Amino acid sequence: MADHPLIGIVMGSKSDFDVLSPAVEILTELGIPHEARVVSAHRTPDLLYEYAEQAQARGLRVIIAGAGGAAHLPGMLAAKTLVPVLGVPVPATMLNGLDSLLSIVQMPKGVPVGTLAIGKPGAANAAIFAAEILATTDAALRERLQAWREARRDEVLAMELPVLQFREPMA
């Protein structure tokens, strides 16, 4: 595995980290080198451009970008790099992430952002999807990812519901 980050996880604010944390956890569990940092589309646009423009040269293969509200971060990253960008809408406003989802998913032709579900499930799926992208050329990662999926399956198969005692209906 690489000695540099292969996946970049960026978010518009430190307050978004809780939502993006499942991505960090899954990538760590799968042994995929990654980095996580705050890059705001609105407050640090120069940093956003620098991050996007240097992503490929730094060896990043996928960028996971979480953003709330106007959610311009994923789209602006995608506009400035050829590294695939996966957008995770963060439920940061009274619209519970719907505004972010619409902002991220409605990209113009030629500037794609792979858009995931709102919130923590989207962050988790972004990490899994990024791992699947890397696994197309990494047999060892493919094996770890397969084992990870099998472990999730086994967790579901091991689930037991409480047994309720049957009672005759009251007349």
13 is in an annotated binding site: yes
What ranges do the domains of the chain cover? Answer: 7-157
DSSP-assigned states of every residue in 33-58: -EEEEE--TTT-HHHHHHHHHHHTTT
Let me know: does 114 contact 87? Beta carbons within 8 Å.
yes
| CB count in 10 Å sphere of residue 67 | 32
Question: Architecture of domain 7-157 in CATH?
Answer: 3-Layer(aba) Sandwich (3.40)
What is the structure's pLDDT at 137? Answer: 98
Say what the pTM is.
Answer: 0.93
Sequential pLDDT tens for the chain (171 residues):
678 999 999 999 999 999 999 999 999 999 999 999 999 999 999 999 999 999 999 999 999 999 999 999 999 999 999 999 999 999 998 899 999 999 999 999 999 999 999 999 999 999 999 999 999 999 999 999 999 999 999 999 999 988 877 778 887
16 is in an annotated binding site: yes
Q: Helices 120-135 and 17-29 sit at what angle, rounded to 10 degrees?
A: 30
15 is in an annotated binding site: no
What is the structure's pLDDT at 1? Answer: 65
SS3 86: strand
What is the structure's pLDDT at 164? Answer: 79
